[in-house]
Amino acid sequence: MKKKIAVLPGDGIGPEIIAQAVKVLETVGKRYNHEFEFEEGIVGACAIDECGDPYPLKTHELCMESDAILFGAIGDPKYDNNPNAKVRPEQGLLKMRKSLGLFANLRPIEPFSCLIERSPLKKERIEGANLMIVRELTGGLYFGEPRGRSENGNVAFDTCVYSKDEIRRIAVKAFELAKMRRGSVTLVDKANVLATSRLWRETVKELHKELYSDIELDFMFVDNAAMQLVTAPGKFDVLLTENLFGDILSDEASVITGSIGLLPSASVGENLSLYEPIHGSYPQAKGKNIANPVATILSAAMMLEYSFGMKQEADAIKQACRESIEQGIVTEDLAADKQSYSTTEVGEFICSQI
Ligand code: IPM
Ligand code: MG
């Protein structure tokens, strides 16, 4: 197969981890006879520095003409600590999600059994946990209007808006994923307080009755879900939720695996999808060749499976990552008191296993 991949390294450690994922994809291309064409674009703080726009039109056009997007991370402390900054790197990410229509964020939480001791949670709580967080990504408080400040500046407001259509299309994704997994969806909301949550419940129930009655569906309030995720994560199969709840719960769920450096994600649209690690740009490690590339490499595996239907190739990458972890060819975040390897060494080892 021939595929064009837009590569957006972004900021901080982005370029280093993306380089490893590209290397792995090239190896897969050679091994399985696919032709991957890579073209780079800028996004985030580096794009602000270069042209004043965190998501320039040129990058948008590159994404639109590609078959999939591989993305590193964005963010730079020089913007975080400056409340007066007019443009922020994060705006680039939000603009990209919205303008590319990437409405479904899939965050699989699959612990590696050999790392179970690394999790701050008790082994017996997390054993067997394997869940998929399906987070709505282009609605809710992140994008609702009106938003802003009162005239005197003493009051600020954001608006949470959801339409039935927005809820339905993401719920379809969740049910379809559940079909291929253990057949259960938990809708996480705050329907005891929020009108939008009540619309979520109503819409998801309707869809369930109409098309997915063979899937098990249950409901959980978000505060309870936050507790269950760390006390009994094995309860969840597909966890479906709105934008802000999904943002928070997916970071929380990442502790189950023991390292946020291991978690990939897909942001899926109608025709185009973007793949990225769930961790941030880790600016303290920039240029040091120490960041864990596995989450990005696993994101590339998700790309092969979800966008290109290359399940076997994706499995080969996942197996190679597992191999690197089992054999202790890992970066310092996972090495504990043992020898640690550089970002490039881990990337090369994974390629050698493919
Ligand atoms: C994420 C991030 C983003 C979000 C930030 C960087 C805007 O936390 O992808 O989870 O809040 O969605
Ligand atoms: Mg987040």
User: Is residue 265, in this structure, part of any structural domain at all?
Assistant: no
Is 38 in the same domain as 73?
yes
How open is the CA angle 313-317-322, to the nearest 5 degrees? Answer: 145
321/352 same-domain check: yes
Ligand nearest to the CA of 93: 1
State the amino acid at position 213 in one-letter form.
S
pLDDT for position 210: 98
Comparing 84-88, 247-251, 288-292, 341-345, the range with the smallest average pLDDT is 84-88
Share of the chain above pLDDT 70, in %: 100
**CA-angle at 295, arms to 294 and 296, nearest 5°:** 90
Give the residue-averaged pLDDT of 28-52.
97
Q: Compute, in angstroms, the gap from residue 247 CA to the centroid of ligand 1.
A: 6
CATH code assigned at 171: 3.40.718.10
The percent of residues in the chain predicted with pLDDT above 90, rounded, is 88
293 plus 241 within the same structural domain: no
Q: Are residues 284 and 346 in the same domain?
A: yes
The DSSP call for residue 261 is G
Last residue within a domain, chosen from 222, 257, 292: 257
> Distance between CA 37 and CA 4 in Å, rounded?
5
Candidate from 211-215, 231-235, 254-258 with smallest mean pLDDT: 254-258
| Residue 114 within any structural domain of the chain | no
- Token pair recorded at residue 292: 């864990």
pLDDT exceeds cutoff 90 at 294: yes
Single residue among 203, 234, 257 that ends a domain in this structure: 257
Q: Which residues line ligand 1 (CB under 6 A)?
A: 90, 93, 247
Whole-number Å distance, alpha carbon 114 to ligand 1 midpoint, is: 29
Residues 227 and 276 reside in one and the same domain: no
Is 17 contained in some domain?
Answer: yes
The pLDDT tens digits for 131-185 are: 999 999 999 999 999 999 999 999 999 999 999 999 999 999 999 999 999 999 9
Measured by CA distance, the residue closest to atom 5 of ligand 1 is: 90
Q: How confident is the model at residue 111 (pLDDT cuts 50, 70, 90)?
A: confident
Cβ distance 262 to 315 under 8 Å? no
Label residue 157 exposed, middle or buried (CB < 10 Å: 0-12, 13-18, 19+). exposed
Residue with the smallest CA separation from ligand 1 atom 10 is: 247
- Whose atoms come closest to the Cα of 43: which ligand? 1
**119 pLDDT more than 90:** no
Among 204, 233, 257, which residue terminates a domain? 257
pLDDT grade, residue 248 (50/70/90)?
A: very high
Which of ligand 1's atoms lies nearest the C-alpha of 243?
12
Catalytic status, residue 189:
no
Q: Do 87 and 137 fall within a single domain? A: no
Q: Are residues 92 and 207 in the same domain?
A: no
Q: Is the dihedral of CA 265, 164, 206, 221 positive or negative?
A: positive
Two tokens at 303?
Answer: 């790309």
Question: Residue 283, Cβ neighbours under 10 Å: how many?
Answer: 17
Q: What is the pLDDT of residue 106?
A: 97
Same structural domain, 292 and 246: no
d(CA 337, CA 104): 39
Spacing, Cα 138 to ligand 2 middle (Å): 14
Residue 222 is predicted with a pLDDT of 98
Task: Please say whether the beta carbons of 326 and 350 come within 8 A.
Answer: no
Decide if 54 is inside a domain. yes
**Which of 80, 214, 218, 223 does the annotation list as catalytic?**
223
In a domain, 109, yes or no: no
Structural domain boundaries enclosing 302: 1-104+270-354
Q: How many domains does the chain contain in total? A: 2
Judge whether 247 counts as a catalytic residue: yes
User: Is residue 95 assigned to a domain?
Assistant: yes
Nearest CA to ligand 1 atom 1: 247
The reply to whether 232 and 299 lie within a common domain is no
- Ligand lying nearest the CA atom of residue 252: 2
- Determine the pLDDT at residue 336: 83
> In the Cβ-directed half-sphere of 252, how many Cα atoms lie within 13 Å?
18
8 A C-beta contact, residue 156 and residue 148: yes
pLDDT given for residue 112 in this prediction: 86
* pLDDT on residue 202: 98
The model's pTM is 0.94
Contact status, residue 9 vs residue 41, Cβ threshold 8 Å: no
Q: Are residues 79 and 200 in the same domain?
A: no
Q: Atom 6, ligand 1: which residue's CA is nearest?
A: 90
Regarding whether 176 and 226 lie in a shared domain, the answer is: yes
Measured between alpha carbons, how far is 27 from 52 in angstroms, rounded to an integer? Answer: 36
- Nearest CA among 312, 296, 295 for reference residue 304: 312
Residue 208 included in any domain: yes
Ligand 1 binding pocket mutation candidate from 8, 55, 90 (most atoms within 8 A of CB): 90
- Looking at the structure, do residues 220 and 317 belong to the same domain, yes or no? no
Count of C-beta atoms within a 10 Å radius of residue 113: 11
* Residue 263 is assigned to a structural domain of this protein: no
What average pLDDT does range 331-350 have in this prediction? 95
Whether residue 146 has a cis bond before it, omega within 30° of 0: yes
The pLDDT mean for the chain works out to 95
Residue 220: its pLDDT value, please? 98
Q: For residue 295, which of 9, 8, 18, 10 has the smallest C-alpha distance?
A: 18
